[in-house]
């Protein structure tokens, strides 16, 4: 472990930073007078583009069409995404009026030429980018929505295709950039290697689905990019490093503490690590309506503070400027870590605002180098892990398969000593342990059990642990809610084609579907897949979470499963959880296992649940609705809510 005291040397902070300094932060652009207003007025993100002259439109559209034809000819060629990123960047900028500077017209022209050259190389089986060094831009096709997503690489000059020695891989999370469209991102990745270029390592600059603090689909961007990188480069799986600054620092805090078993080191710079304290000035501004209880509970999805003990066994090298308001992130993480009797290195740039102090950079690099000498231990003798959700169930050889109560703290401590594995748990009802063949005996919460072939799957029944198969029902990893979880894997919007039970609710559902499609494109930079209810196939049901819009009369798929859902819905009323509500004025939102395929979700009447107001501050891009909600559609949808939320809550561990 790096000696934090020795490393800090001249980077010790002596003066406190007040919360008022947060007002100077470039990405904290929120008017407190608008906070939680009934009809908040927000500026668009991304901002409106500049006018494009007709002649330029005609020229670019011709190039877009030509490159599109070249892409289509490539068919199933595996290199298509690395060609298509150039087509998408220009096509979206033109179609959605996202040219944000007249200088981007020439960038677009260059991209069309690059795309045509890449299409020719791919068709000839000689993609030059597979052997290129230096700045290399690639793309992958996301399994979530079928979109093509770009990422940038810095490939060492001594790289050779087919080389045997695996390379360390460093991920960089970028800061907030409201103008960071695909056009801008790719252009930047072809010009700038970034501040950290470790010798001999590959660096991946993630797009992260634009400007969402690497949340939701932006979180999955790292893992999808990693899977694509593995296809083309030999990676040292025990020397993966995560880094980022500002919004990217926030992403790094999240990944480090919610995926702690994956990294050899984490180096967050500035950012934010939780919601309540960082966002307090707006949350609790005079005249503001405090967030509802369920939203506060859902902050536990991305808050890193409450899982601070996950720092055990993972080198974290944090950086802050001494006079940067975002020093708050490292300060609060250290405070929470201390409560767990843990600590990590904090490097502080003296008298430095929101940037890296030049003398701090080599200190950070040295700390990371020290961590990489050892690298990640994929099979540690002991594992300590805390989680609040089955969205994050795993560290090393420990996997939590069930919780007694989701969104409350769950702990596991497991350690092998000679041939005995000792485990202590809290708020866990099922788990899988795979510590390896050296472990012959198991003692869990004081109960001795058999451990065969160094592995065990266990369930707690009536307070007692016993060997059992992994649970196939109830909340479990991959099937635990809330609504937003459905949009982190393959999903499909199902458009109703029938007559709605009530015209008002039918019109609301149509409007909300339109909003979900529009918002997904702007926020997560993909075309959300959508099909009519009459066109849904068995493969659609097998492979996707289905987002069902409308009601059991208007949506044929919803009609088919209505009797197996935890509500009754007729033209006159909705019966749910003891309520009997007028079906002409109320609509349900919920997530639930699909009765037609319990391995996938159905979602009723909702896209991702944060709306336009949350785009103004990345710390606000958190789930706004839990497992279910009842909406009074007589109150119009606005930039915060889909209507008046009459009530909302969570299903229990049995989806009841």
- What residues have CB less than 8 Å from 124, skipping those under 6 apart? none
Examine the pLDDT at 14 and tell me if it is beyond 50.
no
Examine the pLDDT at 440 and tell me if it is beyond 90.
no
Examine the pLDDT at 1 and tell me if it is beyond 70.
no
N-to-C CA span, the chain: 46
pTM of the full structure: 0.93
Examine the pLDDT at 278 and tell me if it is beyond 50.
yes
Residue 580 within a domain:
yes
514 and 643 together in one domain: yes
Please give the Cα distance from 482 to 479 (Å, whole number).
9
**Domain end call among 467, 496, 511:** 467
423 and 540 together in one domain: no
401 or 281: which leads in pLDDT: 401
| pLDDT computed for residue 289 by the predictor | 86
| pLDDT computed for residue 41 by the predictor | 67
Digit-coded pLDDT (tens) for 248-258: 999 999 999 99
Structure tokens, 420 = 């005995």
| pLDDT computed for residue 26 by the predictor | 29
| pLDDT computed for residue 454 by the predictor | 87
460 and 597 together in one domain: no
Structure tokens, 140 = 């992958």
| pLDDT computed for residue 488 by the predictor | 98
517 and 589 together in one domain: yes
Candidates 529, 519, 595, 590; CA nearest to 144 is: 529
Please give the Cα distance from 434 to 97 (Å, whole number).
52
| pLDDT computed for residue 383 by the predictor | 98
Q: How far is CA 126 from CA 77, 81, 112, 160, 488, in A?
A: 12, 15, 19, 15, 34
Place of tokens 């559902």: 509
Residue 422 within a domain:
yes
| pLDDT computed for residue 282 by the predictor | 83
In this structure, of 152-161, 236-245, 277-286, 508-517, the range with the lowest mean pLDDT score is 277-286
Please give the Cα distance from 473 to 599 (Å, whole number).
9
Residue 587 within a domain:
yes
Question: What's the CA angle centered on 515, arms 511 and 516, to 5 degrees?
Answer: 120
559 and 607 together in one domain: yes
**Domain end call among 438, 467, 496:** 467
User: 422: buried, middle or exposed (CB in 10 Å: 19+, 13-18, 0-12)?
Assistant: middle
Structure tokens, 431 = 């788990």
Digit-coded pLDDT (tens) for 126-139: 999 999 999 999 99
540 and 601 together in one domain: yes
For residue 72, is it left (φ>0), alpha (ψ between -120 and 50) or beta? alpha
**Domain end call among 467, 498, 530:** 467
Residue 92 within a domain:
no
509 and 555 together in one domain: yes
Structure tokens, 516 = 């979900």
Residue 477 within a domain:
no
Structure tokens, 385 = 């892990």
Place of tokens 């798929």: 557
Phi and psi torsions of 439, nearest 5°? -80, 125
| pLDDT computed for residue 18 by the predictor | 26
Strands 568-569 and 579-582: unpaired
Question: Domain range for residue 525?
Answer: 483-649
440 and 582 together in one domain: no
Please give the Cα distance from 272 to 295 (Å, whole number).
18
Examine the pLDDT at 30 and tell me if it is beyond 70.
no
User: 190: buried, middle or exposed (CB in 10 Å: 19+, 13-18, 0-12)?
Assistant: middle
398 and 518 together in one domain: no
Residue 623 within a domain:
yes
Rounded average pLDDT over 509-524: 98
| pLDDT computed for residue 450 by the predictor | 85
492 and 554 together in one domain: yes
Examine the pLDDT at 20 and tell me if it is beyond 90.
no
Please give the Cα distance from 283 to 274 (Å, whole number).
13
Question: Is residue 77 classed as helix, strand or coil in its secondary structure?
Answer: coil
Digit-coded pLDDT (tens) for 178-219: 999 999 999 999 999 999 999 999 999 999 999 999 999 999
507 and 604 together in one domain: yes
Contact 365, 196 (CB under 8 A): yes
Residue 581 within a domain:
yes
Digit-coded pLDDT (tens) for 628-651: 999 999 999 999 999 999 999 999
Q: Alpha-carbon torsion 290, 34, 628, 588, what sign?
A: positive
Residue 498 within a domain:
yes
Examine the pLDDT at 5 and tell me if it is beyond 80.
no
431 and 539 together in one domain: no
Rounded average pLDDT over 364-375: 98
Please give the Cα distance from 607 to 513 (Å, whole number).
7
Q: Residue 374: how many CA atoms within 13 Å on its side-chain side?
A: 16
Digit-coded pLDDT (tens) for 89-116: 999 999 999 999 999 999 999 999 999 9
| pLDDT computed for residue 40 by the predictor | 53
In this structure, of 226-230, 459-463, 482-486, the range with the lowest mean pLDDT score is 459-463
Percentage above 90 pLDDT, the chain: 90
Phi and psi torsions of 216, nearest 5°? 55, -120
Contact 388, 308 (CB under 8 A): no
SS3 content of the chain, % helix, strand, coil (to 5): 35, 25, 45
Contact 124, 502 (CB under 8 A): no
Digit-coded pLDDT (tens) for 571-588: 999 999 998 999 999 999
32 — pLDDT class (breaks 50, 70, 90)? very low
Examine the pLDDT at 12 and tell me if it is beyond 90.
no
**Number of compact structural domains in the chain:** 2
Digit-coded pLDDT (tens) for 55-91: 999 999 999 999 999 999 999 999 999 999 999 999 9
């Amino acid at each position: 472990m790096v000696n934090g005291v020795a490393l800090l040397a001249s980077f010790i902070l002596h003066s406190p930073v007040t919360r008022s300094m947060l007002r100077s932060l470039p990405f904290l652009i929120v008017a407190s007078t608008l906070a939680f207003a009934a009809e908040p007025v927000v500026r668009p993100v991304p901002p409106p583009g500049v006018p494009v002259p007709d002649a330029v439109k005609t020229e670019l559209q011709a190039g877009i069409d030509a490159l599109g034809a070249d892409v289509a000819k490539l068919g199933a060629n595996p290199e298509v995404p690395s060609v298509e990123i150039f087509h998408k960047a220009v096509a979206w900028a033109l179609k959605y009026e996202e040219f944000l500077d007249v200088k981007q017209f020439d960038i677009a022209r260059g991209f069309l030429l690059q795309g045509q050259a890449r299409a020719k190389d791919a068709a000839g089986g000689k993609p030059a980018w597979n052997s290129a060094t230096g700045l290399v831009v690639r793309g992958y096709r996301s399994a979530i929505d079928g979109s093509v997503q770009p990422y940038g690489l810095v490939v060492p000059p001594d790289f050779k295709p087919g080389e045997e020695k695996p390379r360390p891989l460093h991920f960089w999370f970028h800061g907030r950039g409201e103008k960071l469209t695909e056009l801008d991102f790719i252009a930047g990745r072809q010009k700038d290697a970034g501040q950290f270029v470790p010798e001999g390592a590959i660096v991946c600059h993630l797009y992260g689905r634009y400007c969402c603090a690497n949340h939701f689909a932006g979180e999955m961007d790292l893992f999808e990019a990693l899977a694509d990188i593995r296809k083309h480069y030999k990676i040292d799986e025990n020397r993966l490093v995560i880094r980022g600054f500002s919004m990217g620092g926030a992403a790094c805090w999240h990944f480090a503490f919610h995926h702690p078993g994956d990294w050899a080191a984490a180096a967050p710079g500035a950012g934010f690590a939780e919601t309540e304290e960082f966002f307090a000035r707006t949350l609790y501004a005079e005249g503001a309506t405090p967030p509802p209880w369920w939203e506060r509970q859902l902050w536990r999805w991305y808050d890193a503070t409450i899982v601070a003990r996950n720092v055990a066994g993972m080198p974290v090298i944090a950086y802050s400027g001494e006079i940067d308001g975002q020093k708050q992130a490292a300060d609060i993480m250290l405070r929470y870590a201390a409560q767990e009797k843990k600590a990590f290195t904090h490097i502080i740039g003296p008298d430095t605002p929101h940037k890296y102090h030049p003398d701090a950079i080599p200190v950070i690099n040295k700390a990371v180098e020290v961590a990489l000498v050892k690298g990640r231990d994929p099979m540690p003798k002991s594992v300590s892990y805390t989680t609040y959700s089955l969205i994050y169930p795993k560290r090393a050889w420990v996997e939590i398969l069930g919780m007694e109560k989701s969104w409350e703290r769950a702990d596991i401590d497991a350690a092998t000593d000679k041939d005995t594995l000792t485990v202590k748990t809290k708020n866990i009802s099922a788990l899988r342990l795979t510590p390896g063949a050296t472990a012959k005996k198991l003692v869990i919460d004081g109960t001795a059990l058999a451990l065969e072939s160094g592995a065990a799957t266990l369930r707690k029944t009536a307070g007692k642990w016993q060997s059992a198969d992994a649970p196939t029902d109830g909340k479990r990893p991959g099937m635990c809610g809330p609504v937003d979880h459905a949009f982190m894997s393959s999903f499909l919007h199902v458009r109703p084609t029938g007559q709605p039970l009530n015209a008002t609710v039918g019109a609301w559902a149509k409007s909300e579907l339109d909003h979900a499609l529009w918002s997904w494109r702007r926020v997560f930079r993909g075309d959300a897949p959508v099909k009519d209810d009459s066109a849904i196939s068995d493969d659609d049901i097998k492979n996707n979470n289905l987002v069902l819009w409308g009601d059991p009369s208007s949506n044929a798929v919803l009609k088919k499963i209505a009797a197996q859902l935890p509500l009754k819905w007729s033209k006159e009323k909705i019966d749910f959880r003891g309520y009997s509500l007028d079906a002409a004025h109320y609509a349900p939102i919920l997530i639930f296992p699909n009765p037609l395929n319990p391995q996938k979700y159905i979602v009723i009447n909702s896209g991702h649940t944060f709306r336009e107001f949350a785009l103004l501050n990345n710390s606000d891009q958190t789930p706004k609705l839990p497992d279910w909600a009842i909406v009074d559609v007589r109150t119009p949808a606005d930039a915060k809510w889909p209507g008046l939320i009459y009530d909302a809550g969570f299903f229990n561990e049995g989806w009841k």
